[in-house]
Amino acid sequence: MTRPVTAPEPRKTPVQRRAVETCAAIVEAAARILEEQGAEAVNTNLIADRAGVSVGTLYQYYPDKHAILVALIRREREVLLAELRAIPHGAEDALREMIAASIRHQFVRPRLASALERIEIGFALDAEAAEMAEAIAGMSASLLARQFGALDRTDLLTAVLIARGLINAAGEGQLPEVGLAERVRNAVEGYLRALTGGA
Amino acid sequence: MTRPVTAPEPRKTPVQRRAVETCAAIVEAAARILEEQGAEAVNTNLIADRAGVSVGTLYQYYPDKHAILVALIRREREVLLAELRAIPHGAEDALREMIAASIRHQFVRPRLASALERIEIGFALDAEAAEMAEAIAGMSASLLARQFGALDRTDLLTAVLIARGLINAAGEGQLPEVGLAERVRNAVEGYLRALTGGA
DNA sequence: GTCTATATAGAGATAGAC
DNA sequence: GTCTATCTCTATATAGAC
Model pLDDT, residue A92: 78
- Indicate whether B63 belongs to any domain: no
Nucleotides of chain C within 7 Å of a protein C-beta?
A: 1-6, 10-16
pLDDT digits 0-9 by tens, A23-42: 999 999 999 999 999 999 99
Rounded to whole angstroms, how far apart are CA atoms A44 and A56? 10
Rounded to whole angstroms, how far apart are CA atoms A150 and A77? 27
Band of residue A123 on the pLDDT scale cut at 50, 70, 90: confident
Rounded to whole angstroms, how far apart are CA atoms A132 and A80? 10
Give me the mean pLDDT over the B175-187 stretch: 97
| B62, B11 contact by CB (below 8 A) | yes
- Shortest CA gap A19–chain B (Å): 31
CA of B3 to C1' of D8 (A): 21
Same domain, A77 and A131: yes
**CATH number (domain holding residue A169):** 1.10.357
Contact A172 B1 (CB under 8 A): no
Q: Give the number of domains in chain A.
A: 2
A56 touches strand D (CB under 7 A): yes
pLDDT digits 0-9 by tens, A45-88: 999 999 999 999 999 999 999 999 999 999 999 999 999 999 99
Work out the end-to-end distance of chain A between its first and last CA atoms, rounded to an integer number of angstroms.
43
Burial B140-169 (b: 16+ CB within 10 A, else e): bbebbbebbeebeeebbbbbbbbbbbbbbb
Q: Which nucleotide is nearest to B54 (CA to C1')?
A: D3
Same domain, A98 and A168: yes
Rounded to whole angstroms, how far apart are CA atoms B153 and B175? 28
Same domain, A32 and A55: yes
Same domain, A133 and A165: yes
- Shortest CA gap B1–chain A (Å): 4
- Indicate whether B166 belongs to any domain: yes
Rounded to whole angstroms, how far apart are CA atoms A22 and A182? 41
| B103, B184 contact by CB (below 8 A) | yes
Band of residue A2 on the pLDDT scale cut at 50, 70, 90: very low
Same domain, A26 and A84: no
Nearest to A123 by CA among A160, A161, A163, A74: A74
CB pairs under 8 A between A and B: 91
| B81, B105 contact by CB (below 8 A) | no
CA of A35 to C1' of C5 (A): 30
A contacts of B154 (beta carbons < 8 Å): 175-176
Q: Which nucleotide is nearest to B12 (CA to C1')?
A: D1
Same domain, A43 and A110: no
| A22, A53 contact by CB (below 8 A) | yes
Model pLDDT, residue B3: 41
- Indicate whether A22 belongs to any domain: yes
Q: Give the domain range for residue A84.
A: 72-195
Model pLDDT, residue A152: 92
Give me the mean pLDDT over the B146-174 stretch: 93
Band of residue A9 on the pLDDT scale cut at 50, 70, 90: low
Q: Which nucleotide is nearest to A59 (CA to C1')?
A: D13
| A175, B161 contact by CB (below 8 A) | yes
pLDDT of A10 strictly over 80: no
- Look at B168 and A144; give whichever has higher pLDDT: B168
Same domain, A145 and A109: yes
Find the radius of gyration of the CA atoms of chain A.
19
Same domain, A45 and A116: no
Q: What is the pTM of this model?
A: 0.91
Candidates A148, A188, A191, A196, partner chain B, best to mutate (most B CBs within 10 A)? A191
Nearest to B118 by CA among B69, B48, B157, B64: B69
**CATH number (domain holding residue A49):** 1.10.10.60
Band of residue A12 on the pLDDT scale cut at 50, 70, 90: low
Band of residue A136 on the pLDDT scale cut at 50, 70, 90: very high
| B101, B87 contact by CB (below 8 A) | yes
CA of B59 to C1' of D3 (A): 12
**How does the average pLDDT of chain A come out, rounded?**
90
Model pLDDT, residue B5: 40
A64 touches strand D (CB under 7 A): yes
pLDDT digits 0-9 by tens, A145-190: 888 888 899 999 999 999 999 999 999 999 999 999 999 999 999 9
- Provide residues of B within 8 Å CB-CB of chain A: 1, 36-38, 114, 118, 121-122, 154, 157-158, 161-162, 164-166, 169, 172, 174-176, 183, 186-187, 189-195, 198
pLDDT digits 0-9 by tens, B20-60: 999 999 999 999 999 999 999 999 999 999 999 999 999 99
Percent of chain B with pLDDT over 70: 91
Candidates B66, B111, B162, partner chain A, best to mutate (most A CBs within 10 A)? B162
Contact B194 A190 (CB under 8 A): yes
Model pLDDT, residue A13: 65
| Cα B79 versus chain centre, distance | 9
* Among B158, B161, B187, beta carbon nearest to A158: B187
Band of residue B173 on the pLDDT scale cut at 50, 70, 90: very high
- Indicate whether B42 belongs to any domain: no
A107 touches strand D (CB under 7 A): no
Percent of chain A with pLDDT over 90: 75
- Indicate whether B163 belongs to any domain: yes
Identify the three-state secondary structure at position A97: helix
B125: left (phi over 0), alpha (psi -120 to 50) or beta: beta
Nucleotides of chain D within 7 Å of a protein C-beta?
A: 1-6, 10-16
Give me the mean pLDDT over the B56-83 stretch: 96
B60 touches strand D (CB under 7 A): yes
Band of residue A11 on the pLDDT scale cut at 50, 70, 90: low
- Indicate whether A175 belongs to any domain: yes
pLDDT digits 0-9 by tens, B108-150: 999 999 999 989 887 889 999 999 999 999 999 888 888 888 8
Rounded to whole angstroms, how far apart are CA atoms A162 and A170? 12
- Indicate whether B123 belongs to any domain: yes
Band of residue B176 on the pLDDT scale cut at 50, 70, 90: very high
Same domain, A115 and A79: yes
Same domain, A102 and A28: no
CA of A106 to C1' of C15 (A): 50
B55 touches strand D (CB under 7 A): yes
Model pLDDT, residue B13: 64
- Indicate whether A2 belongs to any domain: no
| A3, A124 contact by CB (below 8 A) | yes
Model pLDDT, residue A18: 86
pLDDT of B6 strictly over 50: no
